[in-house]
Amino acid sequence: MILLHKYFDLSFLIPISAARSQTTLESKLEALQCHFTWDLHPSRTTLVCLRDQLEDIGTEEGYSWLGHSYNLQGYIHYQLGFTDDACRFLCRAAEAFRQMRNTVSDEGPWLVVNHGNLAWLHYHKGERADCQAYLLKVDAMMNEYPSPSQDELHPEIYAEKAWTLMKFGADKRQLAADYFQRAIRMQPDMVEWHTSHVIGLANTLRHSDKKLGADIFEKMKIAKEHDPENLFLAALYFEACAEKGKNIESGARELARRVLRKPISSYSGIAPLLRLYRIYVSMDEAIDLAEEVLERHPDERYLKRCAALCYKKRIFQGRDNPLEHSMIDRAISLHREVITLYPLSSLTIEISLANIYAESNNQAEADQIYEELLERPDLDPEGAQMLYNYYAKYVHFSRKESYKSIEYHMRAAAIPQQSSYRKNSVNTLERIRERNRNRMCREIDEFLNNLQ
């Protein structure tokens, strides 16, 4: 048998062996717990927006999710086609985990997701040996650090998966909350897990019609007591107190002083604090606070985005009162600056700018912005759906073109992707059909029936 190769050509067996090896490798990769296997399926719009959001978190010392942030950025950069940047961020993640866990070891359950990502990255780069090496590292860590609960993932994996899913829309937030609960049940001493779980619950409620229940409020209170330096959570807590009718003005002003002393990032609490001011203190005080923070940190793009949002809210809140030209000019200036600072994720800002022009009776500028946006070739389904929905409202309220409005609500609804924009367009079309006063009611009825 050893000499068979002298008499028979066995080269035809090599492709079969290689194919089996490739299948085995791919099955091992598919079994990993990492961003490449979590069924995230983000659109390009989501990826670009997430990339900017994660950059705005910054690298503030002591940020407990920095390693997870670098992990997610590595995945995002790969999906956007920047393989070298993906590798750089994934290597940063490993170092960040070592620093946060205060260890010199290259092993630990918190590295399982990171090494899984690196295995996938090397696989996609065609670097088979490096891919195999990371698969072996994952196997070794899984054996060395088994989950404390049989038939469940390690709590470190659940926590990272939960933190990641929180970033991918409302339909994944409930699953994220479930994973946080599992992680906390197995490892209850991780303060940052409790905090992020509560933040996730609060954000889920904020994007729904539900009221804050006593159970979540109590969890928020306990998390705040255990994580007193987390000012993002503190702002959410004051917001919850205000919803329950409590006076929070003095507490909000004290919190503002604390936020102003901290390094600025999207995790420092400035965004929920400004929202707290806008809704429960004073819109004008919110603008003053935003300008004060900007004066202290004039080069922080994230602050300019927060300030632009405050001005936008002020303009549309004051529809019954004449607005000063200086306020409109400042709003326009900030929006234009933010668009240049977020060139690839500024669609919502550009839409807001168009609507501000419309509100200030400069319809020509509003028309021009919308026309340019509608002609953009790089809109993915998610971006197009949002744009069509906003444009439908614009032509209805500003241009009084009801038929064109209906046309664009149909365009938004026809895109087969669940979102608040699609839901809003469908609801609008249903209301028009029910009133039965528009000559397009038959077309709307036919469209909605086909949609279902």
Distances (CA, A) of 84 to 81, 144, 223, 334, 386: 9, 31, 39, 33, 32
Stretch 6-34: mean pLDDT? 68
Give just the sign of the alpha carbon dihedral 311, 198, 254, 263. negative
Whether 4 has a pLDDT exceeding 60, the answer reads: no
pLDDT band at 327 (very low <50, low <70, confident <90, very high): very high
Q: Compute the distance between CA of residue 130 and CA of residue 180 in angstroms, rounded to an integer.
A: 32
Structure token digits, residue 56: 């705005």
Closest alpha carbon to 315 in 271, 272, 353 = 353
Q: What pLDDT is recorded for position 322? A: 66
Report the percentage of the chain scoring pLDDT > 70.
92
Question: Lowest-confidence range among 14-18, 32-36, 42-46, 378-382?
Answer: 14-18
Q: Compute the distance between CA of residue 393 and CA of residue 409 in angstroms, rounded to an integer.
A: 8
User: Got the DSSP string for 142-202?
Assistant: HHHS--SSTTS--HHHHHHHHHHHTTS-HHHHHHHHHHHHHHHHH-TT-HHHHHHHHHHHH
Distances (CA, A) of 155 to 99, 113, 243: 19, 12, 33
What CATH class has 18-145?
Answer: mainly alpha
Q: What pLDDT is recorded for position 5? A: 42
pLDDT band at 287 (very low <50, low <70, confident <90, very high): very high
Q: What pLDDT is recorded for position 185? A: 96
Stretch 18-46: mean pLDDT? 87
Whether 323 has a pLDDT exceeding 80, the answer reads: no
Report the alpha-carbon angle 316-319-320, nearest 5: 155
Stretch 82-105: mean pLDDT? 88
pLDDT band at 18 (very low <50, low <70, confident <90, very high): low
User: Got the DSSP string for 70-110?
Assistant: HHHHHHHHHHTT-HHHHHHHHHHHHHHHHHHTT---S--GG
Whether 214 has a pLDDT exceeding 50, the answer reads: yes
CB-side exposure of 205: number of CA atoms within 13 Å? 19
Contact 205, 167 (CB under 8 A): no
Whether 387 has a pLDDT exceeding 70, the answer reads: yes
Q: What pLDDT is recorded for position 280? A: 96
Q: What pLDDT is recorded for position 6? A: 39
Q: Compute the distance between CA of residue 22 and CA of residue 16 in angstroms, rounded to an integer.
A: 10
Contact 398, 366 (CB under 8 A): yes
The boundaries of every CATH 1.25.40.10 domain in the chain are 18-145
**Average pLDDT value for the chain:** 91
pLDDT band at 206 (very low <50, low <70, confident <90, very high): confident
